[in-house]
Amino acid sequence: MIKIEKLDHKGRGIAKLDNKIVFIENALPQEEVEIDIFSSKKNYSLANVKEIITPSLKRVKSPCKYFKICGGCDIMHMSYNDQLLFKENKVKEILHHYVDTNLKINKIVSSDLSLNYRNKTTFHIDKGLGLCKKNSNDLVFIEECLISNDKINNTIPYLKKLDFKDINKITVRGSNDIMAIIETTDSNLNIEHIKDIAASIYLKINDEYKLIYGKPYIYEKIGKYKYAISPNSFFQINNNVCFKLYSKINDYVKENKNVLDLYCGIGSIGIFVNEKNDTYGIEINKSAIKDANLNKNLNNIENINFICGDSGKSINNLKFNPDIIIVDPPRSGLNKETINNILKFKALEIIYVSCDTMTFARDLNILKNYYKIIEVTPFDMFPNTSHVECIAYLKIKDV
């Protein structure tokens, strides 16, 4: 038997066994549990709970029957309030430790929905339809995914009727109309019955997207803005929290300022904050930039321009003086070259949107030498998982 001391940043219980740290999935602080070690390294081991001897009073029964094996959610054994506290504390611990012990970190902004919030889910196929098991490429076959929206869940019985022989994955996205993206090697796949539930069907063959039925785009609405999205363009996964996140950014952006929106995706942030500004958006994905230009017209916005390229490099050729730079990079964060190029602008303010608290901390630690970090706000974009989205608001130091 082993006693859980506290949680790590992935929501795993931490305990000591023979002077070695063990990370235990699905365990809560103060619980006494029997464990199964499934991986043993020199300095630490990874384990599952075999039996809970003394459960925590905080433990809740997960609403999902696949929770213990499915790799999708990792903290569904906590109440939603405890999940929020866990994430707020995680952000505080990481940023106070690596960036500044006095950094102001606001209360986490919650999601109105803790279930049924995802507007995109990728199902894996292997004799059946499922999601990857925890720490494995094996699948757990599922009938529903509780964090995906109902429209996505309603497609599952139809998807199960496909001939899975030549299919690897199926991504379903949308909150209104549904887009199905079937990764396959068979260009003649029979998809007739999928037309009953999808407004748009793509085959993805060797990384090429081929529209075989319906509309090329699906549309999502965030606030009063409507966004067209192609199959391989990024879009925030939780519309409700996306609205809260973009509204916070909009609060920081004041009138008549030039805005540079780096890693702009389909132009969604730039468009959302654009009424008051001149904006440039930069994004590496060609199809996202095509969507961004479409979205500019769709929302009747004139003073925004999009450039397709690497954000870190393309800014060197930009004939534009931004007052505010918004960055929303992938999990890897900003590289040194990008940070150096951003610093050259001496923009008055930087708004950093991050979905990975560790790379966020690493980058803020450099930026803090030139900018004062006014505040950080965590957002619960991904309920029931240990992931958290954050915004930092930075102002240039007096020079």
Ligand X SMILES: C[S@@+](CC[C@H](N)C(=O)[O-])C[C@H]1O[C@@H](n2cnc3c(N)ncnc32)[C@H](O)[C@@H]1O
Determine phi and psi for 154, rounding to 5 degrees: -65, -20
Mark 269-294 as b/e (b = at least 16 C-beta within 10 Å).
bbbbbbeebbbbbbbbbebbbbbbbb
d(CA 310, CA 306): 12
Strand partners, 118: 148, 238
Q: How far is the CB of 379 from ligand X (least distance, A)?
A: 12
d(CA 235, CA 173): 10
d(CA 124, CA 82): 30
Q: Which residue has the tokens 């939603």?
A: 80
Q: How far is the CB of 301 from ligand X (least distance, A)?
A: 16
d(CA 377, CA 353): 10
Nearer to ligand X, 11 or 281 (CB): 281
Q: How far is the CB of 203 from ligand X (least distance, A)?
A: 22
Q: How far is the CB of 136 from ligand X (least distance, A)?
A: 26
CA neighbours within 13 Å on the CB side: how many for 21? 10
Nearer to ligand X, 200 or 268 (CB): 268
Q: How far is the CB of 310 from ligand X (least distance, A)?
A: 4
Nearer to ligand X, 66 or 382 (CB): 382
Chain mean position to CA 308: 22
The residue whose Cβ lies closest to ligand X is: 265
Nearer to ligand X, 263 or 306 (CB): 263
Residues that bind ligand X (CB under 6 A): 234-236, 263-265, 268-269, 282-285, 288, 310-312, 328-330
List Cβ neighbours of 223 (8 Å cut-off, separation of 6 or more): 243, 246, 247, 272
Nearer to ligand X, 128 or 330 (CB): 330
Q: Which residue has the tokens 């006693």?
A: 3
d(CA 362, CA 107): 22
Nearer to ligand X, 49 or 392 (CB): 392
Of residues 226, 260, 230, 245, the one with CA closest to residue 342: 260
One-letter amino acid at 342 equals I
Q: How far is the CB of 263 from ligand X (least distance, A)?
A: 3
Q: How far is the CB of 353 from ligand X (least distance, A)?
A: 7
Name the residues annotated as catalytic: 355
Residue 349 tokens, joined: 């303010």
Alpha helices in the chain (DSSP H): 80-98, 150-159, 239-252, 268-272, 286-298, 311-314, 336-344, 357-367
Q: Which residue has the tokens 């702009």?
A: 264
